[in-house]
Each structure stands twice: as C-alpha cells, then as structure tokens.
Structure 1
C-alpha cells in the first residue's frame, strides 16, 4: 500500500466496499459534497471500467485480486481469487476504528471483508441481498444475518422487504432507490443534515422558482376520483371564503438540489394548487412537475386530453380532476373573487413543506443493533 493511501486513510470516516459501496460513496461525494470517504475494490483491469470511474479515482483504494465470473459477465455474479486476507487486515488497521463500512452481501468481496471486521469496533451498514442476486452468496448472507444480530453498531437493510413495500417498481428504479436510501442513511449517520426531517414554511411564490422540480409517483396514489374531487371542493371553498391558510406538503428532497419527490398523502393538495396557478395564469411552469412511471409525464401534457389519451387509471384521476376544477370555477363560484384571494396569498407563507431524506418504506426495511458511534 503506497504512502499517499496510508495518509488518506487516517481521516476516512466512511468506506464503501465493492460495486455497490462505490455507488453509495459516489453519491456522498457528488451529491452531498463530502470527501472524507473512500471505496475499496479490486484493481480494475479493463479500460472501459477505468474510464467510467475516472472521476472517482482519487477515492479508490485498489486491492489486489481478481473477479472470476461464474456464469457470464454480469453484475455481482463472480467469486474472488487471490484475495490476500493478511494484507486486507493490515489495511483496516490503518482506518479509524469508528469508520462506517458499507457492505452489500451479494458481493463476495463484502463477505470477505465482513469476516475480517465482524469482531472489530467499526460501524457497519449492510444490505441483505435479494434471493435472486446470487444463490450461494444469499445463503451465506443469511448465515451472517443471524450472527450480526449479536453485534453492536450494525444497521441491516433488507432488500426483499423494501421491494415488497414499494411494488410495483421496475428493478432499475428499485436499485436507484436503494442506493440513494443507503446513501441518505450514511449521510444521516455522518450528520451531514441537521435532522432526519424538517418543516419549513414557504410562500406560494416558492412554486414559481424555475429550479424547483416536483415529482409525483402515481403508481402509489391511494386517493380515488371521488376523494380528489372532495379535496378540490374543500380548497376552492376555503379560497372563495378567504380562509385558506395552510397547504401541507410532505416531500423527500434530493440532496443539494431542488428536486422534491412529493409524498402521495399530500400529493392532491399540491396538484390542486398547481392547477389553480395554471388556470389563473400565474408564472408557474407546469413542465416542472412530472408524474413518474414508465415515462416521465409533465403535468402540462397530462391535463391536455388531446395530447395524452393513454393514461393509467391513477393518471386519469388527475386529468378528470382538472376538468372538474374548471367546471366548478365556471359554474359554482365567483371566478374574480377566487382570483383576487389567490393573488393575496401568493406571497403568504402558507406552504408547509415537511422535508425528509428517506421514505417510510426504506426506514421500515432497516434493522438497527445499537446506534453507530462516530
């Protein structure tokens, strides 16, 4: 191990192991803007892999060894050859004993590392793999899970449990969510945010900012067409009477950017406010609100029936709601009065944003054996 790596290891507070550990550390570096981290992986032999990781090279701790693919060259389907446990043990002796080590037990290198650090004081963040990822590694992982129940400073993330809670989600989206959830867990443990959740009041004009993007996930909408129409009536009545004082929004905020994943419980409220801004020609860009699924659909396209006829059942609720709102404004209310009251509220701090960094499904898939000691 060269001197530059030895020196850098002294201040490392988090170490990712293997492919997945590298992906999580990449998020900590690029999105959370934190650099006292490294990832441990075998020395890369292929030029293509070297090019992909060029921006992370300074954070890479290369380790001698090879990956032999058992049946085809696929992600994580490999075994370790020439793994020098003595050299690996020497490497971990150079790292602060309270460092957080991130492991995915679908990867043989993570299981090999776990053998060396199990009895140490390191904090461990470990993903239990899916059953299908690698049957041999999965059986070994279950053995480790039983042993880890007796270990302090350990957090286990159960991939199968998380998958069952967020269905239906395709595998690529699921991996994206898991990686970002583990990165958020790591960031919280490193105290990179002030708290797990925070509530902030914004004026409605907050929605006008071009850099703010709001993401809705209609596959998980729980409200019916009737529920949505009742909510529309409630908000319009309050607006017409001049008593609308608060719109509550829960959102998962992406780190260091203005991307908000809107919680489905409060999605109807925000969608109705966006409808009103659009109908009364306020400077809100509907292209900044997207409904995610198989395709990203901007809200502006969704409410135009002539351009979007193949909506899913949940998306049709949104389309119907927009038509319902327009009819209600024309036939049941004083249009000018509602516009006047909306104008009065534009700069009022009535948007109550409750921002959080991990969804409830992810937190429900974690098992903690005593808190980390950092």
Structure 2
C-alpha cells in the first residue's frame, strides 16, 4: 500500500460520508481523493516544531471535501509521522446547507486513529474564533491531551454555499516527552481546557471562501435553502449559540469588567485599547467584547510577538464593596504564553498584572491612563 493511500484510508467509507453530509461510501472507494497543494487547502496550521502536512480533496455532485493532516516529525530523527492534527472541511454547492451539526464527541468514533483509543476527559464548550464559534471537546489518547472540534457555516441566500469543519488535535511527541509533561487528567478543568484550545486555534487558520454563509450551531436550515441529505446516524444538533451583529451606532455598550450595559462610547467589536509592558518591552492591544457578557478576546502585539487569548470577569461590581476583577490569558506566535489577573476601579480604568511561562512580568493598562 502506498504512503498516499495509507493517508486516505483512515477517512474512507461511512465516516467521510457522514462528515460531508452527502455522497455515499462507494464514492470514496474508487480513488476519488487527490493530493493538492497547501495553497488549495481551506485550513492551515503553523507548527512551532518539525511537521509535514498532507492535503487531499474530492469533488462530488453537490459538495467538495478537503482533508488536511499534519504528521508529527518533532522526534530527533524527524521520522515519527504520527498524525496529530486531522481535519475535514466540506463545502456544499450554492444553495445547499448541512441539515445538522456533528457534535465533537461523535468524532471520537469517526476518525480511524481515534476509534477505541480515546476517552473524553472534559465537557464540550464553544470557543470563539475569527471565523465564528467552534464547538470543542477535550479528550485523551494514550499519553496525549487532545481536543476534537466542529463548526458549521450555512448559506442565507441561494447563491451562497454551506460548509462544515470537523477535526482533532493531539499533543505531539515532542510535548509528550518534555521533562515537565503531565499525563492527561481524568477530568480536565474547564479553564485548562479553554487554554488548551486557545493555544491551538492561535496557530490554526481557517480560510473561508467569499460565498460561504454565516457561522451557526443551531442546526436550522435556512428557509428556501435545500438541505444536503443528513447522515441517518447523526446526533441531534448541539445547543444554539446566537450572536447578533449590530452597527457601531446601535450596538449595545458593554463594560469590559462585568458585561453590564453602560453608557460608555466603546462598541463591542472595537473593544478597549490597552498599553502593555512585557519584560520591559512596550506593546499595545485590545480587550474585546466578542463573547458572552463578562468575557471576551484579548489581543497583544509588540516588537517580538503577536498574541491572542481571552479575559474573563470573575466577581465584583462597581459601586460595591468588591470592585470588578477577573483573569486573562494569552498565547503567542513565538511559542510563549502569559496569564494573570485584572482589576477595575471604574469603567474607564482597567489594569492587569501577570507573568509569562518563563516567569517574566507582563502588565497592561488602559490606553491613555
């Protein structure tokens, strides 16, 4: 069996048919997948270590399926070839939508490399990416901590296409063999699971075509848009997650610390600008309100790195005995990370203090303060 055929085998048969939402198992068995270039893939990953990527595609009657796999070559001989990221990105023809979501828990039985080798060790949650919300589930495979993920975009007009992303990520061998590596927990803490997902999605890039519909997770088919036949064994749709988009003039104003409605002049999509100091290097960034009330995305840029993460209100209110406070965490393109706490004495003042993964101090203050 050739190397390329080995790569394709894991997704042949019913699993790919279920992921694509159309077609049949027979369509997979006649060599329909072709190897394509990285430029033709809708997803990319930017690993901090040696890795090899393989991209495959199959065009069907009413959908196109793109498979991307990253092979771990972080061992000393760079020959491991363990698949540690596998994703399937399916696009429908214009006017077709997927009928249901595929919950991330279902993926543990759909990918050959995970079947009977994995155990769920955390609760599923929604993680906000630049492309929309992605459902995430923590699980363990052997000595690796992993997550499975799924997202969907549906057409709102007949000239748009629907799409679905399914996949998983596991810690590579270099991480598992590191001196301070800890075996996967029996039950992963929600905050730790969120951090694990954030560090992955910082490096995972989703390039949506221009005519792809809006991100959804409610399993509803738009009126007038025919659905691609659903997998008969599909699980019921996951809980709905809504997020109306408003113009800056009419968008509700939100306090960064508590998520309460206020009269401030900062719109949720813009957020609050911050100035940072990381080991005596100055930078700038923003705390955005693009998640449920009381939390949001955090972005930092300086001369050394680009970082993304989140802030989260824990407790406290203005004009009370306990002023607002919370946590923040960021993950950066140079492999570093940082976390800490913030406090706020008023809606116009916020300060955060913490340290990075090497113990260096990291702080931020609201811009202009």
Normalised TM-score (structure 1): 0.29
Structure that is richer in helix per residue:
1
Larger Rg: 1
Task: Identify the structure with bigger relative contact order (alpha carbons < 8 Å, sequence gap 6+).
Answer: 1
Compare the two structures and name the one with the higher strand fraction: 2
Instruction: State the TM-score, normalized to the length of structure 2.
Output: 0.29
